[in-house]
Amino acid sequence: MTNTNFLIIGGGPAGLMAALSSSEFGLDPLIIDENQTIGGQLIKQTHMFFGSKAERAGTRGFEIGMELEQEIGKRNIKIERQASAVGYYPDGTLAVLQNEKVTPLKPKAVLVATGASENFVSFPGSDLPGVYGAGAVQTLMNVYGIKPGRSVLMVGSGNIGLIVSYQLMQAGVQVKAIIEGLPKIGGYLVHASKIARAGVPILTRHTILKALGGDQVSGAVISKIDDKWQTIEGTQQTLEVDTICLAVGLSPLTEILWQAGCQMNYIPELGGQVAWHDDLMMTTMPGIFTAGDVTGIEEASTAMLEGELAGLGAVKFLKGDSKALQSRINDTACRLAALRAGPFGQKAREGKCKLAECRR
């Protein structure tokens, strides 16, 4: 593993875009990624992406991943696969674990684009085999071509819950219902409508009471809830399912940022603890950048633009400013603002505003 001026931790949408934008301005970045394949969660997204043409809207997520990998290849950007950043030391050394061997790297700039992990929700039987994170099911189906089971209860109606339900149906798995505690569907209504018209009920104001089964899931008991989230007697029903998918949100994977001593703030709108960052995604530690879900749970399209900005930020940090760089930064920032401009971007806008005000 060769040393680098600009180390990118995480080869998902944010990391790949940072590699491309920084390479365009003359940096020679190194991407490290835990997985065998780069692209992060893009590789299992079979739906067409939203956004505008500049964000490759209308192209399916896994194809965007392939396009980015090709562009990375054309630019000869170095990638180390199955390599994990396992520690950040006070002198700026990053320990990278690969093939059971640790390599110390000392880059001048680092981008932490580590993404997020799925949230869990507890209920009796929630530890049984057959209860999965929705993203895990997506990996199993769309990367390895394996069905999680025959019939599914989906918990959560955000975009992940809706998209994975649709993908389960495409894989030939029966989705019995999608349940949601809130009174309204959380994700895009167009996603909900394409599931509803295939006859799958979306039950808002419903919760799961327990998973049934001895060795593995054989059913689920769900119930209606009132506006205080209390179960309403007499509304319980048992669904015969062998799979329960949890799509109850994501949490940023921030370990490296904490170790590096970045200022962290709890911003619920962004999904939990995130690192403070400036307009170019630089944290309170000079030279340490962050982008994508690790700095606030959003969409892959916003992660890509944050990554692009962070790459440009690293260029400015390492090589100084220029007119061309500034104009590129303005363009990217404008597109990012446009993606967040609608009602669905409100939570992220509020979260980022709150975060900006937290600078100590």
According to CB under 8 A, which residues from 61 to 90 bind other proteins?
62
- For the CB of residue 344, give the shortest distance to other proteins in the complex, in Å: 6
Regarding 330 and contact with other proteins (CB under 8 A), the answer is no
Reduced to 3 states (helix: H, G, I; strand: E, B; else coil), residue 74 is helix
Place of tokens 């684009």: 113
Residue 173 CA: distances (Å) to CA of 91, 169, 220: 51, 5, 17
Dihedral over Cα of 44, 219, 130, 211: its sign: positive
Q: Which stretch binds other proteins (CB under 8 A): 14-22, 55-63, 105-113, 316-324?
A: 55-63
Write each residue from 280 to 299 as x if it is in contact with other proteins (CB under 8 A), else as -, in one continuous string.
--------------------
Dihedral over Cα of 311, 317, 320, 323: its sign: positive
Regarding 174 and contact with other proteins (CB under 8 A), the answer is no
Out of 191, 277, 328, 352, point to the residue binding other proteins (CB under 8 A). 191
Q: What is the largest CA-CA distance in the chain?
A: 68
Minimum CB distance to other proteins smaller for 171 or for 358: 171
Regarding 311 and contact with other proteins (CB under 8 A), the answer is no
Minimum CB distance to other proteins smaller for 46 or for 98: 46
- For the CB of residue 42, give the shortest distance to other proteins in the complex, in Å: 13
Contacts for 96-102 with beta carbons within 8 Å, 24 or more apart? 96/1, 96/32, 98/1, 98/32
Regarding 194 and contact with other proteins (CB under 8 A), the answer is yes
Write each residue from 219 to 258 as x if it is in contact with other proteins (CB under 8 A), else as -, in one continuous string.
----------------------------------x-----
**What span, in angstroms and rounded, lies between the C-alpha atoms of 172 and 149?**
10
